[in-house]
Structure 1
Amino acid sequence: SSGKIAIHESEPINVRQKLLQFISIGFDHVAPLGWDHLLFIVGMALSTFLLKRLLLLVTAFTVAHTLTLGMAMYGLIEMPANFVEPVIAFSISYVAIENIFGNQSIMRKSLIVFLFGLIHGLGFASMLKNFDMEPDSFLVTLIGFNVGVELAQIAIVICVLLTVLINKKIFPNHYRQVLIIPVSVIISIIGFWWGIERVIG
């Protein structure tokens, strides 16, 4: 079909090859290609250095975007890109601003991340629909793509957590002023700018 990226070849690709192919595509869509999703994850990970809280946030985001990605790919839910894309951008700005000013409970923060994750899942689906997927390998490609997204997310979270912990070790009383706040300010400005661009564009 026109406008779509063909992924089939003259020889049928086996399940393992297809899975690995879409794990790579899913990973690349977050890091390094998906700057909006990447910055959201960075902003989310900057919000806490406590592993249990971070796992809760990551789980909330994962469950949410997996849910809407699957539903959108099976045609159960659809939202226009001119709604989804600006909301994704503003979600980046919101989580970053919360890092600067917010002091909400972890449950409230997890709920917010979950709600934004639902929208990010629709963004993932919009990208995945650009591929001309064969019906007999639809589920494999969907699973592979999602696994790739999760691997990228885990890699980003680990990098952010290590950076925060190192800064906390070096600047135990000022790590927020040295790292969290400046980076969050930059992320919030970028997210807001992208949001405005997507609204007026």
Structure 2
Amino acid sequence: MPDRQRADARRNYARILSVAEEEVAAHGAGASLEQVARTAGVGSATVRRHFPTRRALLEAVSRERIEALRVRAHELTGAGDSRDALLEWLGDVVAYCVSARGLAAALAYDGTAADPVHENACSAALEEAAGPLLRRAVQDGAVATGVTVTDLITLAVGIVLATEHHPDPGGRADRLFRLAVAGLSPQR
């Protein structure tokens, strides 16, 4: 009997996750957990058992994107100019967050933990992946000491969340990201 329950639980998890991916793609981070349960054909308690918080559900939905960003950071580590490599990766973070509704919310910090990066798995994975990129850029003098991966992810997430309702969220987010990187001073 326990084996059957585990198999049922695995099927429920897969069904809930599949439905959640569709709901988040359609409605963003505010997708209704009750609608996910109804569409998946399970009770709300079953959804909550697998995903006790909205963040847990968003993290699960975003897992593949986070893995792609992790792999990309690894590819860029040690490649070319350290500042360019870091900024290329951050640009990828912004682009992924714009294209994957709900990813920015999964990365957002709610300030409840003493160490906000480790309060969720998505941010922890990105911190670990981007650490070598940032350390190299700091060692090369291309990025100021004291800048953290948390700072950079917060900046990217803030830009994405601020532009998600713009008619061209990708273009607007990219412009604001480039402005943040360049600063307000005129080019010399």
- Greater relative contact order, per chain length (Cα 8 Å cut-off, separation 6+): 1
TM-score scaled by length of structure 1: 0.29
